[in-house]
Chains A and B, each alone.
Chain A
Amino acid sequence: MSGKLRIHVDQDKCQGHSRCKALAPELFDLDEFGNAHEAGDGIVPPGLEDKAYLAKSNCPELAIDITED
């Protein structure tokens, strides 16, 4: 059985393109400047794995990491 996915947004890289929020709104929150943060603890709920990878593959700044717990 595979582990859970965990996402993390690198705050030094994120420039607020907000592509992740548009593609996977359940997995990301934006702050007042529009910069993205992983929602909650970053654990990807079952069924949203594809969205997590979609968000990662559309981040122009390569700011999203996905690791397997």
Chain B
Amino acid sequence: MNKPAPVTDWVHDFDHTDPRWTENPFPIWDELRAECPVVHTERFLGVYMPTTYEAVKQIAYDTEHFSSRRVIVRTVRPEITQSAPPITSDPPEHKPAKQLLLPPFTPDAMKKLEPRVREICNELIDEFINDSKVDAAARYTKHIPVRAIAHMLGIPEKDSELFIKWIHEILELGITDDDALVRGVNEMSHYFAGHIEQRKKNPTNDLISTLMNARDKNGQPLSDMHVLGSLRLLLIAGIDTTWSAIGASLWHLAKTPADCERLLAEPALIPTAVEEFLRAYSPVTMAREVMKETTISGCPIKPGNMVLLSFPAANRDPAMFPDADKVIIDRKENRHAAFGLGIHRCVGSNLARMEMTVALEEWLKRIPDFRLDPAGEVTWSEGTVRGPRQLPLLLSKPH
């Protein structure tokens, strides 16, 4: 496929996969927001993007005009064959599908998982603590969420590299390459189908069995298709999202010594700082499909288009957040939308928050002195999930 033409007019022709957007989207969003609460591009078969917190919120709450049946903006829009409930569900199917997944992800459930996540962090740190430099994205942040979700699902943590490959095919390559997406989805489905079959013979007490044992409102077990779809969702949504969030937080601390010193002196502030990192560097941009004509913040919205539901851009809206462009690690009032707004609030938000907090706590305990490696390059993932994929750091030995 030909490379798209470079963007020269962001307001009327934006492209969220343009390298400049991937590298530093914040000034672009500010430009778009100053122009209009909702902008449009003909690229990707037609896409709107709300640029203000208010417009993002209106769309997130409006399940009548905006469907979740497609949640990724791509260059193709093939027939929908594989769903991932509840993220791809609309009312009324959404609520029962979501309620099945909520109990395993409550804050109390996360407290039980926390000791394992702390061990995972320390096992990873052990592998490079004696080095003078490390790519923290490749050797630390990448592995924490994937091992934690594997632990919850009851699948081998050692299969992590496989999961990361599928997710790259689905979320990044899949934007322009349908074969890569189909390959990733099929391999993942095949993998989980095997685990489902095993559990039919030998039940376990992990999340896969929980889903298999769940009953719908008529008392019937879920279809294998539904179980498979939800498992795909948990794996896809649970990995590079939090990988990105932990990575962006470490990146910020590596380049902002004052914030790092403050968190070393006041570790109790870390959960508050995590909220601010989530606001300022929100990794996830979901999508919606316009089903019916409507108006958002005075802008006409027409069916046939997708919507790039940019929670990250909403979180940078100065009308909602004073000093929106500054990272204030003790920000008191922080109604950020990093995990979405409305019925599709991220099921894994408590997991993500716990992982981020633990990952920063353990890192700072053992590696208090670190900075960006000027000889290295920080690179960011593009598209639906944005975060550091290369994060070269210099480490000083604790004295």
Contacts and interface: CB of A to CB of B under 8 A. Distances in A.
B102 A57 contact: no
Given A33-B102, A57-B333, A15 B107 contact: no
Contacts of A42: none
A60 B107 CA distance: 17
Contacts of B337: 60
Given A30-B106, A34-B106, A18 B333 contact: no
Given A21-B107, A33-B99, A34-B106, A61 B332 contact: no
28 contacts: A15-B341, A15-B342, A15-B345, A16-B102, A17-B349, A18-B107, A18-B349, A18-B350, A21-B107, A22-B107, A22-B353, A30-B107, A30-B108, A32-B102, A32-B106, A33-B103, A33-B106, A34-B102, A34-B103, A34-B107, A54-B332, A57-B332, A58-B334, A58-B335, A60-B336, A60-B341, A61-B341, A62-B335
Interface of B: 99, 102-103, 105-108, 271, 275, 332-337, 339, 341-343, 345, 349-350, 353
A15 B105 contact: no
Nearest to A35: B102
B343 to A, nearest CB: 7
Interface bin, chain A:
10 to 19
Nearest to B272: A23
Contacts of B275: 58
A21 B353 CA distance: 13
Contacts, number: 50
A22 B339 contact: no
A17 to B, nearest CB: 6
Given A22-B107, A30-B106, A32-B106, 17 more contacts: A15-B341, A15-B342, A15-B343, A15-B345, A17-B345, A18-B349, A22-B353, A30-B108, A32-B103, A33-B103, A34-B102, A34-B106, A57-B333, A57-B335, A58-B333, A60-B335, A61-B341
B105 A34 contact: yes
B103 to A, nearest CB: 5
A5 interface: no
Contacts of B335: 57-60, 62
Nearest to B353: A22
A62 B103 CA distance: 23
Contacts of A17: 339, 345, 349
Interface string A28-69: 001011100000000000000000001001111110000000
A60 B342 CA distance: 9
Highest count of chain A CB atoms <10 Å: which of B106, B343, B353: B106
Contacts of B336: 60
Contacts of A30: 106-108
Given A30-B108, A32-B106, A57-B333, A22 B99 contact: no
A20 to B, nearest CB: 11
A22 B271 contact: yes
A33 B102 CA distance: 5
A54 B103 CA distance: 26
Nearest to B335: A60
Contacts of B333: 57-58
A58 B272 CA distance: 11
Contacts of B349: 17-18
B281 to A, nearest CB: 17
Nearest to A60: B335
Nearest to B342: A15
Contacts of A57: 332-333, 335
Highest count of chain B CB atoms <10 Å: which of A21, A59, A60: A60
A16 B95 CA distance: 13
Contacts of B350: 18, 34
